[in-house]
Homo-oligomer: A and B are copies of this chain.
């Protein structure tokens, strides 16, 4: 008898009818002969509403009290789900992080899990009970309540699956799986049956909003097979995410993503002195700016200066504006240029590793369409190109066609570029 962890997000438990629906999904897994651990998020907009309340009171809430406040959301949904399962004739018990013993670092609002106690959950599982656990939350060894930050509930589920050596950790939401690219841009995009952690991580980082990279990283680290499934289509197996070593590689490129939420910043003519780049990115990190692509040009023959270009989330531009004067005074660039008219198109595939020419094919495909590539960034299994926003959709469609990521005629393309 194996153990399966099922995680249900906020939209899956948004109201009492949906909670009953989730109860069916849980019972189905139990009747398959598995011991079942369920992880839930807060219902629908609960977390947003609690944040709104706190903002009515203060613009600078203490992190400790935010954790106290937000951790109530999961406790509501988990107890309601336990009631719904019991109502349907199966035994279920809900446990919060303190009752399980999900120990985290003593960092509020962004804690990382350091240990999960096994005793209590095992006792309930051995007793034939379905165990429902609050996602997103933990406790410190001092009994303080912490939350895990963004992607927290998915991470709770994966960490529990690792701790209890579960056969599978299924993440249920309103999407049916991982697609070769965004089905809103390319409606013929195919659902993948299987994808590697590495590919999923690259896809997640480049803007496919199915799973938070943190949960995928944890799954990879602990070798937990993850499923991405729809809570509204229980017979659909969704997409399985496993180690690349366990996969048979079919295509060099398994996925494509487009991200138009970034801006490109170019720091022009930075004097070519050792340590300048380090200074720059330390300044950015200190004000909480996450930088994505980074390109430093070769030193120009005349004048010994570099251009340093990078991308950040467009919501972070105000943060950058604050730190810009300091950058100017320290680095003395000739100009700082902010370019909002960009979209990042990325192809991902573990199969790239052994196949040369993928990057060339990508660049040529774009060149044939007359699309200018503003920046390029690559990893072992990913190639990202920055293009002008107006060309993004065209690029996505052409690349899907070239790399066989869609199943039909590109004439079917509809939908807006996701922003």
Interface residues of A (CB under 8 A from B): 16, 19-20, 50, 53-54, 56-58, 60-62, 64-66, 68-69, 71-72, 75-76, 78-80, 82-84, 86-87, 93-94, 96, 98-99, 143-145
Q: CB-CB < 8 A to A50: which residues of B? A: 76
Q: CB-CB < 8 A to A94: which residues of B? A: 65, 68
Q: CB-CB < 8 A to A19: which residues of B? A: 57
Q: CB-CB < 8 A to A143: which residues of B? A: 98-99
Given that A76-B72, A99-B143, A143-B99 are contacting pairs, would A65 and B83 also be in contact in the complex, using a CB cutoff of 8 Å? Answer: yes
Given that A75-B69, A75-B72 are contacting pairs, would A83 and B61 also be in contact in the complex, using a CB cutoff of 8 Å? Answer: yes
Q: CB-CB < 8 A to A76: which residues of B? A: 50, 53, 69, 72
On whether the beta carbons of B72 and A72 are closer than 8 Å, the reply is: yes
**6 smallest beta-carbon distances between A and B, as pairs:** A16-B56, A68-B79, A72-B72, A58-B87, A69-B79, A65-B79
Q: CB-CB < 8 A to A144: which residues of B? A: 99
Q: What are 5 A-B contacts defined by CB distance under 8 Å? A: A57-B84, A68-B75, A69-B75, A71-B75, A98-B98
Q: How far, in angstroms, from A128 to B79 measured CA to CA in the complex? A: 36
On whether the beta carbons of A68 and B82 are closer than 8 Å, the reply is: yes
Given that A16-B57, A53-B16, A57-B20 are contacting pairs, would A86 and B65 also be in contact in the complex, using a CB cutoff of 8 Å? Answer: yes
Q: How far, in angstroms, from A253 to B58 measured CA to CA in the complex? A: 49
Q: CB-CB < 8 A to A58: which residues of B? A: 83-84, 86-87
Given that A69-B80, A80-B54 are contacting pairs, would A62 and B75 also be in contact in the complex, using a CB cutoff of 8 Å? Answer: no
Within the complex, the shortest CB–CB distance from A173 to chain B, in Å, comes to 21
Number of copies: 2
Q: CB-CB < 8 A to A65: which residues of B? A: 79-80, 82-83, 86, 94
Q: How far, in angstroms, from A94 to B68 measured CA to CA in the complex? A: 8
Given that A58-B86, A93-B64, A99-B143 are contacting pairs, would A53 and B69 also be in contact in the complex, using a CB cutoff of 8 Å? Answer: no
Q: Which residue of B lies closest to A120 (CB)?
A: B143
Apart from A58-B87, A99-B144: 12 A-B pairs, beta carbons within 8 A: A16-B57, A50-B76, A53-B80, A57-B84, A64-B93, A65-B82, A68-B79, A68-B94, A69-B80, A72-B76, A98-B98, A98-B143
Q: Which residue of B lies closest to A87 (CB)?
A: B58
Q: How far, in angstroms, from A79 to B109 measured CA to CA in the complex? A: 14
Within the complex, the shortest CB–CB distance from A55 to chain B, in Å, comes to 9
Residue of B62, B78, B82 touching A62 (CB-CB under 8 A): B82
On whether the beta carbons of B84 and A66 are closer than 8 Å, the reply is: no
Within the complex, the shortest CB–CB distance from A7 to chain B, in Å, comes to 19
Q: How far, in angstroms, from A75 to B70 measured CA to CA in the complex? A: 9
Q: How far, in angstroms, from A162 to B50 measured CA to CA in the complex? A: 33
Q: CB-CB < 8 A to A60: which residues of B? A: 87
Within the complex, the shortest CB–CB distance from A228 to chain B, in Å, comes to 27
Within the complex, the shortest CB–CB distance from A44 to chain B, in Å, comes to 12
Q: How far, in angstroms, from A75 to B98 measured CA to CA in the complex? A: 14
**Most chain B C-beta atoms within 10 Å of own C-beta, residue among A62, A75, A93, A145:** A62
